Structure 1
Amino acid sequence: MLMYFKFPLNDVKAFMSINEEWPFELFCESLTYDLFSTHWEVRHGAAIGLREVLRQHAGGAGRTPGMDTAQQEGATQRYLEDIALRTTCVLALDKFGDFVSDEVVAPVRESCAQALGIVLSVMREDAVVSVMNILITLLRQEQWEARHGALLGLKYLLAVRKELTAKLLPEVFPSVFAGLQDSCDDVSAVSAAALAPVADDIVNFLPDQVTSLITCLWDLLLDLDDLTAATNSMMSLLSSLLANSHVSYTHRGAELHELVPRLWPFLGHSIKSVRRSALATLQTLVAMENTEPPVNVWLPQVLQEALRTLFQRCIVESNQETQ
């Protein structure tokens, strides 16, 4: 192992001329075995190790001297596909979770999803689509941990392959949208977290789905409370969608003066980011020009309650920026 440190990390050719293999071959092979350890700490450490090595060297993984350019690229893609399958298996099988405050912390699945995201960032398009299909299949599993891991993988997939968003998002959206209504709060939380970074893309590429998505989020607010893990993610997603200037929104079955009061409980939420997301949503609605009915119709009906609630929150708010 000491031989790994005789050359700078970027001096790959010098190392390969002596060892006739990718410098990190043995090290990464050991980490891939550790991904399936019975101890979660070992699995977690292996996922972090793979993530950091591939972050810098994924483009040269699996190559050996004597190959032409096409052969080298093929070797790299085969190696990355193998890593993608292994990390996906961990997302499907790992069941370790801990709870901090109101949210589940799944360090093994989170780190594996991050490593998978790095691998997907340099994989061929057809291989990326294949991994996406596997993750969508995992969402049909009965174990909530498998659905949670699949959504983590999809979250990082959408984040790293922005150039494929127009192709991937229509395939991914129905499954992630269904995840918002999952019986497990932690699954619905990561579903909202997966959609929040691509809120603008949903408006651009799936305009017909925007109203249904916003309606679903408004309805879900009725079931959220201080102990619901999805509260923060859903409030952020709702705020992001409403902030888009292209959204023209009318709720089915309820007027805005009936919907806006659903935000009041979240203005006093114990988590600062939830309070800020609720404020951002309210601020966005007040500033919107394309709501139906218009602002000057629905706002006067809730103005007194809104001013009273905001004044009370200003008095007791502990965070200066939020105040």
Structure 2
Amino acid sequence: MISSPYPHKFSVAPMMDWTTSHCRQFHRLMTKKALLYTEMVTTGAIIHGDTRRFLDFNSVEHPIALQLGGHNATDLATCAKLAEKWGYDEVNLNAGCPSDRVQNGMIGAILMTHSQLVTDALKSMMDSVEIPITIKHRIGIDDFDSYEFLRDFVGTVAESGCKTFIVHARKAILHGLSPKENREIPPLDYDRVIQLKQDFRDLNIVINGGIKHHTEAFELLNAGLDGVMLGREAYQNPLLLTDVDHHYYGTKNPIETSEALNDTLVQWVEQSTLDGTPLKYIARHMLGLYSGQPGSKKYRRLLSENMTKQGADASLFGEALSMIQPPKHLANPTPHS
């Protein structure tokens, strides 16, 4: 376990269409401590749309952070106040998404070239609420990709009083690459994020991007960073979440055997479907369960081909689970700390 005053050593990244409430509830069964993030929600959707639809979550999801997309200080402050009222533990500003759609609305990575706008927005949010306000951004965008640019951006934004910077260790290429390509093609530069922590020791610097194993994560924590955020790997290989509480927080893992995990999942799926949630909304987040284990491909195929059919219920999930031969114990050896 790494010793650090920052409480959220491990978090699961906000991911559009993936980190829904059902996904977060699934993840929470395997880790009680990791900080979970919503999908990005725009300020316009919250203010002018169905506010309850965008902000409601299940109480089991704590600790949970709302990620906002926007640039207008007044709108962001309004949404931060609503998030606090709804019971969120943190509000995060998205300054890293590279899609054309959000660029046109002055949302996401484009904000990195408007550091004073970001500073003013964060300050307005912080003045409006008591819960933490954080920011997630890239190491640069397009030709603004020097370390000096990154350092100056963080230095300016920190004047808002924001203390936690979640840094995706790739630059964003806003013209010519899709959002998917922006998660894969620009090279990772962990050293640049580590240097950022060395230059801003009073800030919490959390690293995101390309981390696949707890051993890699601990190497980054041991290099001085305050936290690690996993995205696609946590989603596509959710079993790694079963080790988080012990490795990062020094507490007992909530589930330690595959038998216990399967029993817990079946009970949760049964209750969720009885409460009226269609199986497809739950099961789509569970296709990566036991990835790589004998029978996992049959499990995935059975679920993906049948979970959308009318009448699909928890019995289908149980049948799919019976095709897998999982390891008895879930926990991996503790990474070197």
Q: TM-score by structure 1 length? A: 0.30
Query: More helix per residue: 1 or 2?
Result: 1
Q: TM-score by structure 2 length? A: 0.29
Query: More strand per residue: 1 or 2?
Result: 2
